[in-house]
Structure formats: C-alpha cells, structure tokens
Amino acid sequence: MAAVTPSRRKAAAQAPAAVLAALLTALALLATLAGCDTRTNPTPAPTDAALRHLFDQHAAAVLHRDRTAFLAGIDPRAGRFRARQQQVFTNLAHVPLAAWSYTVVRTGAFPLPPAADGARQAAVQVRLDYRLAGYDTRPVSATSYLTLTRRGGHWYLADDGDGTASGHRSDVQLWDQSPVTVVRGARSIVLGLAPDKALRGYAADADDAVPEVTRAWGSDWPRKVVVEAPATLAQMASLLGVGATAYAGIAAVTTGEPGVNAAPADRVVVNPEAFGLLSDFGRQVVFTHETTHVATRRSTDGHTPLWLSEGTADWVAYRDSGRTAPEIAPELAGDVRAGRVPAALPSDTDFRAGSARLAQAYEGSWLACRMIADQWSPQTLTAFYRAVARGGTLDAHLRGALGLSTAEFTARWQAYVRKELA
C-alpha cells in the first residue's frame, strides 16, 4: 500500500467531501487487496461432501487392500508423508479387519504453517473407527489430526504431524510403528511387533486366563482377548500416549482401565521389558489380572473406585495360586509388621504411575476384595461390583451388599489386614 505523506494528508483535508470520500474508499480497497495473501488468511474449508468422498474412498481402500486407491487419496507432492503411508498400508497387511471408517470431527482443528508451494490447505480432526474380525463387537476409536491440500480441484491427505506443535497429537497405532504380525490363540489374538516366539507365549497366557476369569466373573463377556504386543517400552508408551517412564515397571495395562486411554473394545497392551522379567507364575497372574479388566469392562465406570476394580482383578488372578497373603502382599506386610496399618482404603490417586504407595494400594485392594469373597462369598463380591456401576453412593452399596457402612467396612478391612499380614 502506498504511504500517505504529510502533503497528501493536507490536500485531503482541504478537498471537497466527495473527493475525500473517494480517496478514503480507494485507500480502503488498497488495504483490502494488500491483505489478500493466501499464506496468512484462513483457507476456505472443504465442503462436507468433499471430505466424505475423500475419507470414504480412503477407508474403502484400506478395508479392501487396494494400494492404488489408497495412494490416490494422498498428495503426490507430499513425498515423506506418502512414503510413510505406503509403509503403514504394508504394515496392516495381516491385520484381520472387519470394519474401517472415518468421521470428520471438525475442520480448522489446528493452526497450519504456510504451504511451501502456496497450495490451499485445511486442518481436520478425524476419528478412525475399526473392528477386528471375530473379536470386536464394537469399534475401537482413534483420533488423527490431518493436513489436507487441494490440487487440481481435489482434496488430498498431506500430513499427520502439523498439529503436534499446537498440542494436537494424532493417536499412534501398532501399524504406524512397524509391520504387524498376527498370532491367533484358542481364545485370543495377538497383534505384535515382537518376535514370533514372544507373541505365541502371550497367546498361550491369554488362552489360559480366559477360563479362570469366566469361572470367577461369569460368562457375560465375549470371552476373547485382544493383545497388542509392541517390541519396546518406547513403542508401548507411544501407543498409550505417555512418556516412556510412566509404565516402565508395569508389565501390562488394559486400555479400558480408568486413567488409561479408554476404548469400547479393550486391548491388553504388553510392556515387553517388564513382562520379560516375570516368572511363569508372574506371567499368568498379569494376564489373568488384565483379562479380568476386559471381562468387567461393561460393569466398570466412573462410580467404580480403583480399589474395587484393581482389587477384584488381583483377587481373580491370585485366588487359586496357593500363595500366602504375605507372599502376595510383601510391601503392605512390611508396613503392618512395623505398626503402620493403612488409615483408609486406597484412593484413586494412590494408583497413579510413580506413586510411592502404588504397591501397597494394589495389595490393600486385593485384601479388601478377598475379604468380601471369603467372609461373604465370591458371588457377593461380583454382584457388589456390578451394582456399584449402576450409580448411587458406595456407602449405600456397602450397606446393601454387606450390611456395613463405609466406616464399618474400613475398620473390618483394617482388622483383616492385621490378621492376614502380621
């Protein structure tokens, strides 16, 4: 825009009103034209129909293993992204997919850097829903933040990392990391990046866990387990969207657990580094514990305290182990012998990764659920668990199932802890 010098300002002030108005209109037009830089102004969003066409075509290409159609939806000028997506397509080759679809959650989802070649761009948040054939009754969902570019009248996928700088990180799947090997057990399926021998071991452990969980919990769950087995702790952390240290000492987690990224269809995710240090007994305890979380998922919600969900999972895992209470709860046993009996049932914060009381939280919860099963019945424990998820206060459910208030239950648990661990 041309600068307005002092002499021009003076002339403008002395001009007739019509001339002045014309001058101001011209200056405004120049300012508007100067601002029409497509590198800084928001780009018009793609239409709903264009987005639906792009993502429906891309989903169909994945589901039908059509590499040509898959690549047709990716920007031909986005060389690095295109190469990564070709590898992802290859990595998915053996995954038994029953469904794969995308839903656009919103456009303009994050700020975009200018395209190097001036192409029109759009930032979209997308939800991926997929199901494994024979295992998932409901879809598993994941979120992606994608950059689209428009070329030759068509929109293309161009990148999946532009949103990271503004905190919009796409969820990571196994097939984003490496080719996925699939091992099928009698009651399980393992999707893994680890060596075949390890994957077969995970399938055998999961197969053994399923009937134990069914015997304790009942048959009202799919009685199948999906295991995800990364090859490293770093890969596991990436799958869960956490730092590598968060689960360094934890052998496995289930995605439906509170505090872990929840999914309608659970996945048992193995930490190969911690799991590899376990004995055969330890492996079976871990898989039975995690499989219990899969079985109880539909009866677990925000009303369920972690002491109940984790304690029940450990009760199922240890109920026929033949181990003594001090062997199963050594940290809490040491506290009790030192005269430190817990003042209250474990809180949800006690279960956070890195908590100083993490071991005691699990051990105390196990004893609380074991006490209910021993002093009332296993059926009382599982019925109580299901009832809590239906709403209402924990105190009301304790009174209804056990005839005890929360305070009375806590006192009885403290006495049980002393008796079992002293």
* Whether the Cβ atoms of residue 95 and residue 190 lie closer than 8 Å to each other: no
201 and 125 co-located in one domain = no
Domain range for 92 is 48-171
Alpha-carbon distance of 28 to 18, in angstroms, equals 15
- CA-nearest of 256, 245, 390 to 313 is 256
What's the pLDDT score for residue 256? Answer: 58
What's the pLDDT score for residue 44? Answer: 65
Q: Of 251, 274, 299, which closes a domain?
A: 299
- CA-nearest of 106, 81, 87 to 157 is 81
pTM for this prediction: 0.85
Task: Tell whether 109 is covered by a domain.
Answer: yes
What's the pLDDT score for residue 26? Answer: 38
Q: What is the CATH number of the domain that holds 109?
A: 3.10.450.100
Residues in the chain where the model's pLDDT stays below 70? 1-44, 256-265
Which residue type is seen at 128? L
294 and 179 co-located in one domain = yes
Q: Of 149, 171, 193, which closes a domain?
A: 171
What's the pLDDT score for residue 243? Answer: 86
What's the pLDDT score for residue 244? Answer: 82
184 and 295 co-located in one domain = yes
Q: What is the CATH number of the domain that holds 284?
A: 3.30.2010.30
Task: Tell whether 384 is covered by a domain.
Answer: yes
What's the pLDDT score for residue 8? Answer: 30
Strand, coil or helix: 187: coil
Alpha-carbon distance of 386 to 300, in angstroms, equals 8
What's the pLDDT score for residue 64? Answer: 97
Task: Tell whether 42 is covered by a domain.
Answer: no
Q: Structure tokens of 74?
A: 């990716």
153 and 62 co-located in one domain = yes
240 and 204 co-located in one domain = yes
What is the number of domains present in the chain?
A: 3
